[in-house]
Structure 1
Amino acid sequence: MTFRFTARARLTILYTGLVLVAGLVLTGLTYLFMRHRLGQRSVRVDLRGPDGTAVTAPRPEDLLPDLDRLQDETLHELLIQALIALAVVTALAALLGWLVAGRVLRPIRAISTTAQRLSAENLSERVPVNEPRDELAALAATVNGMLDRIQAGVASQKLFTANAAHELRTPLTTMRTAIDVTLDGEPGRDELIAMAEDVRTAIGKSQRTLDGLLALAHSQAATGRRHLVDLSDLVAVSDESNLRPAPVVGDPVLLEMMVANLVDNALRHNESESEIEVESGVEGGEGFLRISNGGHMIDPGETKRLLEPFVRGDGGRTGGEGVGLGLAIVHAIVLAHRGRIRLDPRDAGGLCVTVRFPLPDAGRAVPSR
């Protein structure tokens, strides 16, 4: 079995090792400097008698053995004392390193503990962000932000799945009812034809819903190659006086799908006597496309819901021919291209949808073909 040290143990060992190495280097240098200095010292002996007269001094060569022995004993005692002090300091460094490492790693343990308690049903817990605002506090804040996005994504996915199941269940129920009613007895040719038409209509709605779901998933992934695209070239209208170049770098297929969904949504909910207004260009350092139509009055507080899947222009559930994915697909494509979308109800009724994208960097865009 392989034994692995914890992060706290590794930090303690690293800290203790650094202190030990630094202590050994300091002890070694001190020993060498002291030995060098003692080797350079000279001893001058001046012996005088009680009456102050000089007496014969011993020869220097007779004193050298005693001096060398004294020097060696002094250096040896110095080395022993230094090593004892180093052992004490190293032990204290290990203890302090263990305590400091635990203190430093406490926020990381809090992140790990919180992550272990999280699940798909419980995403509400957050990592505590303590003072001071250092790198670990920034890490905790980043993790909390990630958890916020995950929670929002899971909630959106659950809502989307529930809506998708409802929208697909409706045509299936219609087909099942049409078949059961028709076969409850002895259907004639007309009844069979009517049943077949009901089934074909329900199948068509299911097909449009599935196509919309696939388009939404594709637009959220946005994996296509980026090219330079002019949004004004993607709009086919009779009056082009308000269309000016609006360059965008992105996936041409997705951007064309976005414009098509905007135009289709405007036509589908437009009143017969109202005109659809289309405008494009550059303003505020961004390329934009704006499409407005007439229609019933829309509550400004309900505009955000229009970007949700399977919601009609009146804020209710989808019905009729539409599947309620047009603006949801547009929203996903805009986000995939780092853009912004804004929905503004018109005073006379209807909706004005504006999408904005960052202008392409010079020399980095690849022309679309």
Structure 2
Amino acid sequence: MAAELGLPGRSARRGIRWRFTTLYAGLFLASAVVLLAVVGLVAGGDHRAAPAPGSGLGTVPSAAQERIASLEHQLAEAHSRQMDQLLLGSAVALAVMGLLSVGLGWFAAGRVLRPLRAMTAATRRISADSLHERLAVPGPHDELRGLGDTIDDLLERLEQAFAAQRRFVADASHELRTPLATMRASVDVALAKPGPVPEQTRTVAHRVRAELDQVDRLLDGFLALARAQHGVPLPGAEPVRLDALAGAALTERAAAASGRRLAVEAEAPADGAGAWVYGDRTLLRRLVDNLVDNAIGHNPPGGWIRVATRVGDSDVRLVVENGGPSLTQDQVAGLVRPFRRLGAERTGGGGGAGAGLGLSIVAAVAEAHGGTLDLRARPEGGLRATVTLSRAARAGAAR
């Protein structure tokens, strides 16, 4: 978020602080050099104004002249030593103050940039799920206060845009269910009428019913996406076995995988304790189902699927791999965007995957649970999807 808003990062702040330090130290040293030059000129002028030895002594006895000349010579030597000491002391003082000026400049630059660091840290904490937060920069109405107020205005507009988008998706999905239900009921009534139904009418009715089911799945995908993006805390969060959800998804889709002659390989945690995570069971099931649907629907006939759940010290990873054509990482990176598909062949799977929502929903659900989705193009062809979630303790898990 800080990078998107154009705020300086840590390396940039360090560079700005060093530039301020250099500026402060340079100005101080320049002032010190000018001051010492003025002192040297004044002291040198006094030395040049001193009378020459023996001047004005024409009427003084020779013995007195020699004595006066000796005293003047001693005075000149003392003045010369004093000037040398003054120059040496000034040079030492200039070196010491030069070092001190760097430290003082660093401290002063830090004090000047402290409000900017606080603004950067606060902006970095703000994400799409906490756009209601504001910087609320205190202090006088100066340039930094103006920058903070501008960022707050930007956050307010972003919050309104995100809220409007979520409301539209949820409201539109709900409103469209009524006409869909009406059309589905009309098709069922037409097929259930007494008497023989023409085969052509029956074929069209089944085709319409299939399309209505597809639209219904699309709406389910919209609702799941809107719910996953709504923010935390998640309603109904509980300990869930991710490996059990993966096994159930593969069992439910065994017929679809068999119809495409896909070799399916499942890998459970080695210790048999289960891959426990904490979250919303419905959303996590949708996450797993979409990954498996994506692997089945976007796989060539006779291909393969590998589903593995692995438990780490603090996280759980669900890895779903499938064969297929070679992809570039740039192509894969765009698959988490809604309605993004790679060609017309990516039309399989349910749960909104056929409309290009499947992996978008996976990414949104993972983010809502504090996890991540990582998509990688396999060098041999196909896709590797890895979902990483925080590990939950098994204790107290009901299912």
Task: Give the TM-score category using the shorter length.
Answer: 0.3 to 0.5
Larger Rg: 1 or 2? 1
